[in-house]
Amino acid sequence: MSRKIIRGGLVITATEELRADVLVDGERVAAVAAPEIAEQWVSTADAVLDADGHYVIPGGVDVHTHMQMPFGGTHSSDTFETGTRAAAWGGTTTIVDFAIQPVGGSPREGLDAWHAKADGRCAIDYAFHMILSDVGDEALKEMDTLVAEGITSFKLFMAYPGVFYSDDGQILRAMQQAADNGALVMMHAENGIAIDVLVRQALAAGRTDPRHHAQVRHPLLEAEATHRAIQLSRVAGAPLYVVHVSATEAVAEIARARDGGLSVFGETCPQYLFLTADELARPGFEGAKYVCSTPLRPADHQQNLWRALRTDDLSVVSTDHCPFCFTDQKELGRGDFSRIPNGIPGVENRIDLLHQAVVEGRISRRRWVELACTTPARMFGLHPRKGTIAPGSDADIVIYDPRAEHVLSAETHYMNVDYNAYEGRRVTGAVRTVLSRGDVIVDAGTYQGRAGHGAFLRRDTCQYLV
């Protein structure tokens, strides 16, 4: 087993920042100690990684990705191989992707299909949530078995009628099951029935461009669904995690629930923090690159999202990485915005974008780590194995250069998609070295990882529940 020392860096976790060295023994962190104490490790080490002038942070945990996901007549363009490699380049060492129960099929079929896609192909460790798209007696029973297998969270959709949509009765039943088996229900909270009416009206009136995507997906329809999901979860006695929150009015619903002592949690994504609905109105069909749901919002929503991240009304920043190429996939919705495959790429850019928020004074360094690594790991039953740097944790570690500048671009990114949503944006801070379970997989611009290094993680249940 190889012993490595990471020397001279500033170790940042969600709770502290300290000048310390980190001893890695095999796949795990063996010790974190002051440099004078760590001095004695040097003679027994196989490698010393110099982190002078760098931050030493836990590897990122991205709990919302969609690799190779069937959607809108196509598949998201990153495979587990390309997507996890890109994640590694961007300092993320764990993803939790969404397996999908096929309509008319069982969650088990969905899980088997996702294992087949991911097994032997991932560069970093991975786990699955399960999307329930056909809630019935059998699927509800299977939830219990899946929890026992480490699939401890289930996403339901109040949007996309005819695709993933569940009605309120199905949602309530799934929540009741989760209240019994300890699973966490994740909600795509948009009123899909009302949205579909507005979509039909817009198309009939000839409003077919990408910018109408955000207009029909009204903030109040996000807020209404968020409110309804919270009330259903109260009736069921189950906790609730609302994914990709973008609207001020939806944040207010979550804040009110949390102030009332409910186990309700919110996630947002970099696209809602750094991009606005103006992107959808780009010339020609360019706006299609920015079609995702919930949609990008007008600029005034952003300051509320940032504030909610500071007050913990929003607790996690994930990417909802769901890439579709502009040239041949987004194209499917030319002339009808409702046919544009929904999703934005970002798994490679999250750590850098959030660091930019540190540089700009929006969040602290510890909050950066908490939002991107520690809380997602705790929320989804992966902590303390993932999301922190402590004796016994997996040695998933990023050595981060806080001063290096670089420009986000499709020319240089590793995601398998032909555009970057943040094209041309200059950021301060860059990943230098990435360790995944003790192995160096990225170092100084070279990739040393391999498909199949990443292992499937059986997760515990959410650690925020009382």
Ligand X SMILES: NC(=O)NCCC(=O)O
Interface positions with Zn ion (CB under 5 A): 188, 320
CA distance 334 to 324: 14
CB of 13 to ligand X, least distance (A): 29
Q: Which of ligand X, Zn ion, none does residue 65 bind to, with CB < 5 to 8 Å depending on kind?
A: none
Q: Which residue is it, tokens 């999202």?
A: 305
Q: Which of ligand X, Zn ion, none does residue 313 bind to, with CB < 5 to 8 Å depending on kind?
A: none
Of the candidate residues 172, 184, 322, 398, the single one contacting ligand X (CB under 6 A): 322
Task: List C-alpha distances in Å: 260 to 56, 256, 310, 391, 419.
Answer: 37, 6, 18, 36, 42
CB of 225 to ligand X, least distance (A): 12
Indicate the residue whose CB is closest to ligand X: 342
Q: Which is nearer to Zn ion, 134 or 320 (CB)?
A: 320
Of the candidate residues 125, 253, 279, 320, the single one contacting ligand X (CB under 6 A): 320
Do 417 and 325 meet the contact criterion of CB atoms below 8 Å apart? yes
Q: Which is nearer to ligand X, 322 or 408 (CB)?
A: 322
CA-based nearest residue to 173, from 238, 230, 113:
238
Binders of ligand X in range 349-408 (CB under 6 A): none
CB of 97 to Zn ion, least distance (A): 10
Task: List C-alpha distances in Å: 261 to 264, 314, 465.
Answer: 9, 15, 12
Binders of ligand X in range 171-230 (CB under 6 A): 188
- Half-sphere exposure at residue 186, Cβ-oriented, CA atoms within 13 angstroms: 27
CB of 269 to ligand X, least distance (A): 8
Q: Tell me the β-bridge partners of 442.
A: 434, 447
Q: According to the binding rule CB under 6 A, does residue 66 interact with ligand X?
A: yes
CA-based nearest residue to 363, from 9, 94, 12:
12
Do 414 and 84 meet the contact criterion of CB atoms below 8 Å apart? no
Do 322 and 343 meet the contact criterion of CB atoms below 8 Å apart? yes
Give the three-state DSSP class for 38: helix
CA distance 10 to 18: 6
Q: Which DSSP helix (H) or strand (E) runs through 234?
A: helix 219-236
Q: Which is nearer to ligand X, 155 or 355 (CB)?
A: 155
CB of 369 to ligand X, least distance (A): 24
Instruction: Label the pairing between strands 55-58 and 397-407.
Output: antiparallel
Binding mask 406-435 for ligand X (x = CB under 6 A): ------------------------------
Binders of ligand X in range 129-158 (CB under 6 A): none
Q: Which is nearer to ligand X, 32 or 291 (CB)?
A: 291
Indicate the residue whose CB is closest to Zn ion: 188
Q: According to the binding rule CB under 6 A, does residue 4 interact with ligand X?
A: no
Of the candidate residues 79, 84, 153, 342, the single one contacting ligand X (CB under 6 A): 342
# of chain residues touching ligand X (CB under 6 A): 9
Q: Which of Zn ion, ligand X, none does residue 214 bind to, with CB < 5 to 8 Å depending on kind?
A: none
Q: Which is nearer to ligand X, 244 or 330 (CB)?
A: 244
CB of 69 to ligand X, least distance (A): 7
Residue type, 50: D
- For residue 79, is the peptide bond before it cis, meaning its omega torsion is within 30 degrees of 0? no
CA distance 220 to 228: 12
Let me know if 1 is exposed, middle or buried by CB neighbors in 10 A (0-12, 13-18, 19+). Answer: exposed
Q: Which is nearer to ligand X, 20 or 158 (CB)?
A: 158
Q: Which is nearer to ligand X, 13 or 77 (CB)?
A: 77
Q: Which of Zn ion, ligand X, none does residue 356 bind to, with CB < 5 to 8 Å depending on kind?
A: none
Of the candidate residues 343, 384, 438, 449, the single one contacting ligand X (CB under 6 A): 343
Q: Which is nearer to ligand X, 66 or 258 (CB)?
A: 66
Binders of ligand X in range 276-315 (CB under 6 A): 292-293
CA distance 322 to 342: 8
Which residues are within 8 A (CB) of 217 and not within 5 positions of it... i.e. 6 or more apart?
190, 195, 293, 294, 295
Q: According to the binding rule CB under 6 A, does residue 321 interact with ligand X?
A: no
Task: List C-alpha distances in Å: 173 to 69, 181, 185, 237, 412.
Answer: 26, 12, 11, 11, 46
Radius of gyration of the chain (CA): 21
CB of 187 to Zn ion, least distance (A): 9
- For residue 295, is the peptide bond before it cis, meaning its omega torsion is within 30 degrees of 0? no
Q: Which of ligand X, Zn ion, none does residue 292 bind to, with CB < 5 to 8 Å depending on kind?
A: ligand X
Q: Which of Zn ion, ligand X, none does residue 21 bind to, with CB < 5 to 8 Å depending on kind?
A: none
CB of 322 to ligand X, least distance (A): 4
CB of 164 to Zn ion, least distance (A): 8
Binders of ligand X in range 239-258 (CB under 6 A): 244
- Which residues sit at the interface with ligand X, rule CB under 6 A? 66, 188, 244, 292-293, 320, 322, 342-343
